[in-house]
Structure 1
């Protein structure tokens, strides 16, 4: 068996706790010297959205609805369980701060500094009506074939 040094994660969820876990795993793998690719698809794209973007491009009614319904950025995500209208997410962030645990935003910045590759699914962007200018800087855009090529060459592949 040939030894390789790559890991991939598919970030499908737009939930705060799952996003935190994804970035903890990604930065941990990068700290171990692995080349890490995170592939953001469907609801996972929400955490890459700019919080204050008020688009100028033309969108269909349904694309506007997705834009309105999806959270804008990491600070707007709720928990997958026990969210209670945002109270659960607030509690999670509060406890993390009290225990000096990095926020999701800090984990995302650390991942970029560690050269974790952040790839956004272009097909999901088309379905949800999300444009590149709505997303944070430093991203790559590709289809599933690009992710599968990365995954085929990796020894760890996770779906979150």
Structure 2
């Protein structure tokens, strides 16, 4: 059995989505299996056009902080969220969308970017993934 990481993506904050994808891609690059379980405000980033809509968790300053961070990331050659997600999928990463959150927040499958999602599930799906993981993270 190969090593596995499971990440709950609870936050939709831009910096936290970046962190989750960077860690996930690093684990994949090191030969691990990786599942990302998107729930609550993290799930909203899977909506069509929603990937870049999050604010920063700190120092957003009405969007000025977000623009400053994006400029610094570009200068440091940090990949875009789109590129990080494409790499994640290409390396075999798995994305699970939380069905309970979809129901609570009124999110329909038709409103999600289904190219990013591998499956839909509830807490039991997450537990099954986490039970077999050597690393579990909550971001």
Q: Which range, TM-score by smaller chain?
A: over 0.9
1:133 Cα deviation from its structure 2 partner: 1.1
1:44 aligns with 2:42: yes
Q: Which runs of 5+ in 2 are unaligned?
A: none
Inter-partner Cα distance in structure 1 for 2:112 and 2:69: 25
Q: TM-score, normalised by structure 2?
A: 0.95
Cα distance between partner residues in 2 of 1:92 and 1:32? 27
C-alpha distance in 2 between matches for 1:92 and 1:17:
9
Q: Which is higher, the Rg of structure 1 or of structure 2?
A: 1
TM-score by length of 1: 0.83
Segments of 4+ moved more than 2 angstroms = none
Aligned residues: 137
Q: What is the RMSD computed on CA atoms of the aligned residues?
A: 1.0
Partner of 2:54: 77
The question of whether the paired residues in 2 share the 8 Å contact of 1:4 and 1:154 is answered with no
8 Å Cα contact 2:2/2:33 also seen in 1: no
Q: CA deviation at 1:137?
A: 2.1
Q: Does 1:13 align with 2:11?
A: yes
CA distance in structure 1 between the partners assigned to 2:3 and 2:104 by the alignment: 33
**Offset at 1:115?**
1.3
